[in-house]
Amino acid sequence: MFRDAIAKEIEEVMGNARNAFAIYSKTTLRARAGFMRAIARQVMLLGDELLITAGAETNLPGARLQGERGRTVFQLDAYADACERGDWLEARIDTAAPGKVPPKPDIRKMMVPLGPVVVFGASNFPFAFSTAGGDTATALAAGCPVIVKAHPAHAKTSTLVAEAIKIAVAECGLPDGVFAHVHGASFDVGAALVKHPYTKAVGFTGSYAGGKQLFDWAGQRKSPIPVFAEMSSINPVFLLPEQLKTRAEELAKQLAVSVTLGAGQFCTNPGLIIAVEGEDLTRFVKTMAAEIRLAVPATMLHEGISNHYSESKEQALAQPGVTLVAASDADPGQQQARPVIAAVTAETFLANPVLHREVFGPYSLIIKCRDLEQMTVVAEQMEGQLTATLMATDADMNNNGPLVDAVQHFCGRFILNGVPTGVEVCLSMQHGGPFPSTTDSRFTSVGADAIKRFVRPVAFQNWNNHLLPDALKNENPLGIWRTVNDVLSKEPLTS
């Protein structure tokens, strides 16, 4: 139904974005926030048509889509509030000290927008990580025009949301180039967008292969640009001895729900469970196996994801030393995923890189360790992850410092006695981790700090007050928090 954008169209879109940047980057924080709130209103005005369209394209149930739409609108409103607060501007002022030897100049620093941002919609979140999702919202808050490349798995949904955003653009009197939307099932469209000289940053949520390709293209440019790609994560869960002894059955049921939630189609799905062999782990495995057998296969987002789950699951199960523990008793229908758990020794896991790969779907691998020392070795060998979880008592934590430290080194969000599925949208959230979970562990794609991905610092030296950006003027017309001569303050400066 939707054809791929051709080179001429991409050139026009990027030219419009560049022209719009000259205007949009100079808009007030209040104007940007108003624009984002207008987008939120327009998304809600799409009503049931949006939910019905997304349901038909993604196979996601109505309740899930309603919740995700609510999250998307909340993000837009919350990031609009954050935009107006201006904390992300990181305004710093060091006033002149002419009597110092040598004289100290007046230097003031703040964050400024990078330029046009290309956003690739995610397949598993048709609203919250797609056309009007977090990448788009935070780029707009930063003052950057956005070009969205729709995900072909929900192209109609993406188009509906894009039209809503365009209405908000007109309503707010902004230039058309502030937002653009293109289709492209082929790699050629993505390559053209990333490689275009007017593109200054990229946001992506998806597979390792897709994110790494964008990252490589961006690095091969004459002027490389940042790619903020959220990619592969298996989100290990470590069951420590005291907690496992007292809560084996409870933990098994809790993790079975997390593994199978939404057909396992979350980037925070717990794909590894690590524990020390023994009677307590046997009880855990027995209970979790019973829960998995009762789990009902669910329809996956699209045929590509369904096929990939089947292939990657079978590849993992075919590895030497891997034992199938349990699978759902129900036969899966077309495009449905059968929940599965398997087990392997720590020695086998450590020696086989295939077992370190993400299996995107309702699958988890239980790693059986000889002792806590070997569990620590497993943690030390782990690649970068979005999340890591410890199921532990206070005694477990106090007695296993090296393990706790090793786990912290490879994750972005460190969970104690919870499950990784469910990513709260709040300022404290870190949704990002060391490679290969993301391409830059210093940033998050969820929460207002995600705005910082699309800005860079500029220092203004010896500028007259009236020529400075509002964020740095003596009067502090924006009323934002600033660090003035090493003191955090909202007060105006007296000349």
Asked whether 160 and 49 are in contact (CB, 8 A), the reply is: yes
Cβ atoms 281, 239 nearer than 8 A: yes
Residue 90, burial from CB neighbour count under 10 angstroms (0-12, 13-18, 19+) = middle
Pairwise CA distance, residues 383 & 437, whole Å? 8
Residues 155, 2 contacting (CB under 8 angstroms): yes
DSSP state of 428: T
Residue 303: active-site member: no
**The residue to which tokens 């499950």 are assigned:** 419
Number of H helices, E strands in the chain: 15, 19
For residue 339, give both structure tokens: 């929940």
Our CA dihedral for 392, 394, 399, 402, rounded to 10 degrees, sits at: 60
CA-based nearest residue to 257, from 300, 288, 281, 299: 288
Tell me the CA distances in angstroms from 431 to 124, 264, 422, one per residue in order: 16, 18, 11
For residue 302, give every residue at least 6 positions away whose Cβ sits within 8 Å of its Cβ, in sequence order, or none. Answer: 58, 59, 123, 153, 335
* CA 171 to centroid of chain Cα atoms: 29
Distances in Å between the alpha carbon of 136 and those of 36, 204, 232, 450? Answer: 10, 11, 21, 10
* 347 belongs to the catalytic site: no
Selecting among 57, 68, 230, 358, the annotated active-site residue is 230
In three state form, how does the secondary structure of 361-396 look? Answer: CCEEEEEEECCHHHHHHHHHCCCCEEEEEEECCHHH
Beta strands in 75-163 (DSSP E): 92-94, 107-113, 117-120, 146-149
Which residues have C-beta within 8 Å of that of residue 91, sequence separation ≥ 6? 108, 109, 110, 471, 472, 480, 481, 482, 483
Rounded Cα–Cα distance for residues 168 and 190 (Å): 26
What is the DSSP-derived secondary structure letter of residue 175? -
Residues in the chain: 495
The residue from 83, 84, 144, 267 that is catalytic is 267
- What Rg, from alpha-carbon coordinates, does the chain have? 25
Q: Which residues of 226-260 are buried (b: 16+ CB within 10 A; e: fewer)?
A: bbbbbbbbbbbbbbbbbbbbebbeebbbbbbebbb
Active site residues: 230, 267
